[in-house]
Amino acid sequence: MKNTLKYILFLGLGAALLWFSFRNQNLLLLGESLKSANYYWVALSVLVSIFAHWLRALRWKMLFEPIGYQPKTTHTFYAVMIGYLANLAFPRMGEVSRCAVLNKTDNMPISTLIGTVVVERIIDVIFLLGLGLLAILILYKEINVFVFENFIAPLFTKLNSAVGLIIPAIGIAFVFGILFFFLRKKIKTWHITQKINAFTLSLKKGLLSALQLKNRLRFFGLSIGIWACYLLATYLCFFAIPATSQLSMAVGLFVMVAGGIGMSAPVQGGIGAFEAAVSISLLVFSIKENDGLSYAAISHGSQILSILVVGSISLFFVFLIKRKQA
């Protein structure tokens, strides 16, 4: 019952995000944009993404070496794809599902497998944060103009019209500062503070685990390869519609990071969250919201379709493997 309620809640959240993204859009115009898209570039983007999944399978396999397991690369690839497939049904189910697959095909303990998935996810978070910072540094001018025009300038306008509130606001900030100084030891015991500290510690542990691998260069090379493929897949999809065809690879980096943040939302397959994050990121570069949503729908829709196809094929092959082992 509890899992059913969670499923409905996450599905409702995804639906709400989709509605929020498309609520003021001309759906007929969006449909025409999707019909006229150049799906040659979309197909190339999908192929690059599938190759990224293969690299992910190779990288995951490397994490088994220190603990004495050597599953076939095809088995780890099937597990990765089935994990993505499971995420379309229930958020975060993918991590458990891919561990369950290797438990069935190679008799590996799930507890050990989950540990490797945690390390892999931590490395991905580090890369996402690093690439996000790089994107901001490269595109600082465009991002700065967008933030100033849409957030800072309107804020100053509101402050000018409410100048009488500035002194009370400073007073309130001063009081909060004093409270923080005297309660700083107690704040350390708060649940959210402990969560942040635990997350920071897990990032450190994950990085140290990767650094302890025998072939560290290959591991980080595969990690770079995975994210390079994600970037290339994002960039290739730009050419699918005229509105985004002139955007640079640097913009692709920013959009990829935004999409990655959207995909981390607790909704099935990032549906709704991805579209919202990507369309908003494209607004920074003067891409109309309708065109941004067209791009997001094409990019995300094609990835979901590829996961449904390759994930289902992977399920079939895992079934055959289990049948042979029986």
Tell me what the mean pLDDT of segment 240-264 comes to.
94
pLDDT at residue 188 in the model: 58
Token output for 44 = 């190339």
- DSSP code at position 109: -
For residue 277, which phi and psi values (nearest 5 degrees)?
A: -65, -45
* Torsion angle (degrees, nearest 10) of CA 262, 268, 269, 273: -20
Average pLDDT, the chain: 80
The pLDDT of residue 29 is above 80: no
24's CB contacts (< 8 A; 6+ apart) are: 289
Work out the pLDDT band at 214, boundaries 50, 70, 90.
Answer: confident
pLDDT at residue 26 in the model: 54
Top pLDDT among 56 and 148 is at 56
Work out the pLDDT band at 175, boundaries 50, 70, 90.
Answer: low
CA angle 313, 314, 317 (to 5 degrees): 90
Concatenated DSSP letters for 134-203? HHHHHTHHHHHHHHIIIIIHHHHHHHHHTGGGHHHHHHHHHHHHHHHHHHHHHHTTSHHHHHHHHHHHHH
Closest of 81, 57, 76 to residue 226, by C-alpha = 57
Answer whether 5's CB lies under 8 Å from 262's CB: no
What is the rounded CA–CA span in Å between residue 30 and residue 39? 16
pLDDT at residue 33 in the model: 64
Q: Which amino acid is at 302?
A: S
Interhelix angle for 289-325 vs 93-106, to 10°?
20
**Spans of all domains in the chain:** 28-325
Residue appearing with tokens 């190759």: 51
The pLDDT of residue 203 is above 90: no
CA angle 13, 18, 20 (to 5 degrees): 90
For the chain, give me the number of helices (H) and strands (E)? 14, 0
Work out the pLDDT band at 101, boundaries 50, 70, 90.
Answer: very high
Token output for 78 = 């099937």
From first CA to last CA, the distance across the chain in angstroms is 34
pLDDT tens, residue by residue, 218-245? 999 999 999 999 999 999 999 999 999 9
Top pLDDT among 323 and 8 is at 323
pLDDT at residue 264 in the model: 85
- DSSP code at position 288: -
Closest of 259, 264, 315 to residue 282, by C-alpha = 259
pLDDT at residue 42 in the model: 95
Residue appearing with tokens 């780890």: 76
147 Rama sector, left if φ>0, alpha if ψ -120 to 50, beta otherwise: alpha
Give the distance, in angstroms, between the CA of residue 208 and the centroid of all CA atoms in the same chain: 23
Token output for 317 = 């092959």
Answer whether 178's CB lies under 8 Å from 319's CB: no
